[in-house]
Amino acid sequence: MPAPETTGDGTVPDAVIEVKGLTKRFQTILAVDDVSFTVRRGQITALLGGNGAGKTTTISMLLGLLVPTAGTIRVLGEDMLRHRYRVLPRLNFSSPYVDLPHRLTVRENLMVFGLLYSLRRPGERIRELAADLAFAELLERKTGGLSSGQKTRIALAKALLNRPELLLLDEPTASLDPDTADWVRSYLERYARGTGASILLASHNMAEVERLCSDVLMMKAGRIVDRGAPDELIARYGRQTLEDVFLDIARDRRQPAEAAQ
């Protein structure tokens, strides 16, 4: 993995995420083991790995929901461990495993989060997002009564309320039908392109990663074991698809050096 260029103070120019020596230990379990990586501004980066590879733990530490055992995290130029509250208004997060309150209507949920993000005109922003993400007809419905696809759209709307410069997404298209999943991917592409925002997403969908991401971090057993653009990784492992590369890494079948021979 090539080391990123750094400035005199050791930071990477244009980096939105800089992680060095990140480690998380839960008693005897080493969930994340000395991980270092950088995400540059405007990039869509994927965090790939099997179940238990450390993706969600890494994202949780980036969000400040989890305190690392060791290592440093800089997000949007700030030390996340010391100045978390300076950064949180500028990023957002969505996961199919974290719900919005079911008994509130979509509008009520978005209004609450709009105020939490200190939006001056939350109602106006909700109307904009409802038009963009095509959920105006859902605004007065209870969130718990929505389908999976509708919930994903609302979760995405919540994640976009504050116009985040950095979006962290955990499996953004999990449990969606192909049509809705394609729609969400298109929207994310347009959002990143239109705003210059950066996205870090954890996914098990290799086709999604090939389509959206310019950079892929491959995790296994808490470590980053490889990194590169999807095309580079496919070429390095001598494979046809990113899924084949994923399986090679997950099953210890081939090393990149071996593939190059």
Minimum CB distance to another protein smaller for 86 or for 211: 86
DSSP 8-state class, residue 3: P
* Residue written as token pair 């974290």: 98
Report the SS3 class of residue 73.
strand
Residues within window 203-242 making contact with another protein, judged by CB under 8 A:
none
Q: Is 57 in the site for another protein (CB under 8 A)?
A: yes
Which one among 14, 34, 108, 189 touches another protein, defined by CB under 8 A?
A: 108
Q: Is 95 in the site for another protein (CB under 8 A)?
A: yes
Q: Is 112 in the site for another protein (CB under 8 A)?
A: yes
Q: Degrees (nearest 5) of the Cα angle 204, 89, 209? A: 20
Given the rule CB under 8 A, which of 60-68, 173-181, 216-224, 250-258 is the region that contacts another protein? 60-68
Cα distance between residue 256 and residue 170, in whole Å = 27
Q: Is 260 in the site for another protein (CB under 8 A)?
A: no
Cα distance between residue 216 and residue 202, in whole Å = 10
Asked if 253 and 28 count as a contact pair (C-beta separation under 8 A), the reply is no
Give the interface size with another protein as a residue count (CB under 8 A).
54
Tokens of 47: 């965090």
Please report, as ranges, the residues that interact with another protein according to CB under 8 A: 26, 56-57, 60, 63-67, 85-86, 88-93, 95, 97-105, 108, 111-118, 125, 128-129, 131-132, 142, 158, 160, 162-165, 190-191, 194-197
